[in-house]
Structure 1
Amino acid sequence: MPEAEYDRILRLPRNLADLRILKDNIAVYASDYQAQFMLGYCATYIFMQTFMIPGTIFMSLLAGALFGVVKGVILVVFTATSGASSCYFLSKLIGRPLVNWLWPEKLRFFQAEIAKRREKLLNYMLFLRITPTLPNTFINVASPIVDIPFHIFFLATMVGLIPASYITVRAGLALGDLKSVRDLYDFKTLVVLFMIGFISIVPTILKRKRAYNED
């Protein structure tokens, strides 16, 4: 195969057409050399997540297309959590100027919301991870800056990403029928995610209501 053809096939997918070409050409290798492929997949996903490189949604779709729902979800949640954790620590070291430059207003809003919810921070972080209220990239880089403890960040990320990961990985099973990435999160899907997210903050709401009644 000419080198130009390799370059066209073996590259990070930027759209669904790229993803389908990649999947068709690596499916046999991924099946025959599953351990090696998974290692490369994990390294690529974590690298992209750490350095905020767009395209991890295509990697999640690829996991579903190649490994099915169960393996795919486990793989995506593991790599997404690992990459988000790496991004957290990288941002803790050098991220403050970048976040202040890119998202100054969003950072102030996030900081104020975190300050109001210190007692039930895990519930709030779960809500943010489950729902598309704030971009995951922003949460990754802003969390250490607003002093969210890593154990809360890690747990909320690992658990909170499961619903969206399931939706994306499952969509990868029917990759040929998917017309646009936007189709993944239609109105019905968003409603379901917000309902799950609401459940995560119910304890906070009940506690506030109980405290109000006692006063």
Structure 2
Amino acid sequence: MASTRNIVGGETTTGNERGRVLTMRDEERAKEDDSPSAKRAKFERFPLTRWELAASLGVFFVFSTGLICIYLTMPAAEYGKLKLPRTISDLRLLKDNLATYANEYPAQFILGYCSTYIFMQTFMIPGTIFMSLLAGALFGVVRGIFLVVFNATAGASSCFFLSKLIGRPLVNWLWPEKLRFFQAEIAKRREKLLNYMLFLRVTPTLPNLFINLASPIVDIPFHIFFLATLLGLIPASYITVRAGLALGDLNSVKDLYDFKTLSVLFLIGSISIFPTLLKRKRIYE
């Protein structure tokens, strides 16, 4: 049987020779991917420049140092039993271990709790919902809501300014389409921006993490961001803190936001955005 002949790179080759040529090309491509220039190109696709990365690490170092100093000045505790909870079971154990300590050293404990919460919120570390549940379990509804709203607002504000420093390339890299949508929505609602931001904070329409990072990029004034965060987080904080009072009945974090709870949040959020919708209707009439 006659062998099939092909033209590769301007030369006539048989099928076997063509296979060898393709194999050699694959090996050359693999070597190019492992070359220093290829690795450099991959690194350059990371959105932050060296100065932005250095600035973010510097801010993280300053916050971490402050947090460590606070913990070093606190009364001794069994640190082996202290860890960030990742499940409801972890949270129950942590609550039992901290209850006595919080009663004996209330001021020091609240300082440590607040600094940890704000640190996690600033650097987008998952787990603040467990900290909110812990506030309800240890401090009750009124003090728990005050602590959660205060810490969440302070942490979101820190995240806002951190994003103003280095956030634009990072958000463009992580959520380009979501950022364009958010920017378009903000542009349409400039006159009633506070109402719209309240709606976003009350309802789970957009993740709070995204709102914290994207707000300075789409030019939301800080005073509007701050006020919407302070007021808009109260309903969800109330739900979480109340749930913290009955940790024994809670099986999962998903149980916090059932259909009924989400419906109530959207109803409250709709009230906040109602003036904007009413004004738009009058314009069209």
TM over 0.5: yes
Q: Which runs of structure 2 are paired with 1:32-51 in the superposition (5 Å)?
A: 32-51=104-123
Deviation at 1:6, TM superposition (A): 4.0
2:96 equivalent in structure 1? 24
The answer to whether the aligner puts 1:64 opposite 2:130 as a matched pair is: no
1:182 equivalent in structure 2? 254
Partner of residue 196 from structure 1, selected from 250, 268, 272: 268
- RMSD of aligned C-alpha atoms? 0.9
Partner of residue 83 from structure 1, selected from 143, 155, 160: 155
Task: Name the amino acid aligned to 2:243.
Answer: A
Q: Which runs of structure 2 are paired with 1:91-106 in the superposition (5 Å)?
A: 91-106=163-178
Over residues 32-69 of structure 1, what are the superposed CA-to-partner deviations in whole Å (9 max), with x where a residue is unaligned? 21111111000000000000000000000000000000
Give identity over the alignment, percent.
Answer: 84
Partner of residue 14 from structure 1, selected from 86, 91, 116: 86
The answer to whether the aligner puts 1:208 opposite 2:277 as a matched pair is: no
Q: Which runs of structure 2 are paired with 1:150-165 in the superposition (5 Å)?
A: 150-165=222-237
Deviation at 1:184, TM superposition (A): 0.1
Over residues 178-199 of structure 1, what are the superposed CA-to-partner deviations in whole Å (9 max), with x where a residue is unaligned? 0010000000000000000000
Over residues 151-206 of structure 1, what are the superposed CA-to-partner deviations in whole Å (9 max), with x where a residue is unaligned? 00000000000000000000000011100100000000000000000000111111
Number of residue-to-residue matches in the alignment? 208
1:143 equivalent in structure 2? 215
- Whose relative contact order is higher, 1 or 2, with alpha carbons under 8 Å and at least 6 apart? 1
1:83 and 1:71 map into 2 onto residues whose CA distance is 18
Displaced runs of 4+ in structure 1, greater than 2 A? Answer: none
2:118 and 2:92 map into 1 onto residues whose CA distance is 21
1:15 and 1:107 map into 2 onto residues whose CA distance is 31
Of structures 1 and 2, the larger Rg is shown by: 2
Q: Which sections of structure 1, spanning at least 5 residues, go unmatched? A: none
TM-score (norm 2): 0.72
2:129 and 2:98 map into 1 onto residues whose CA distance is 18
2:248 and 2:160 map into 1 onto residues whose CA distance is 35
1:155 and 1:85 map into 2 onto residues whose CA distance is 10
The answer to whether the aligner puts 1:128 opposite 2:200 as a matched pair is: yes
Task: Name the amino acid aligned to 1:26.
Answer: L
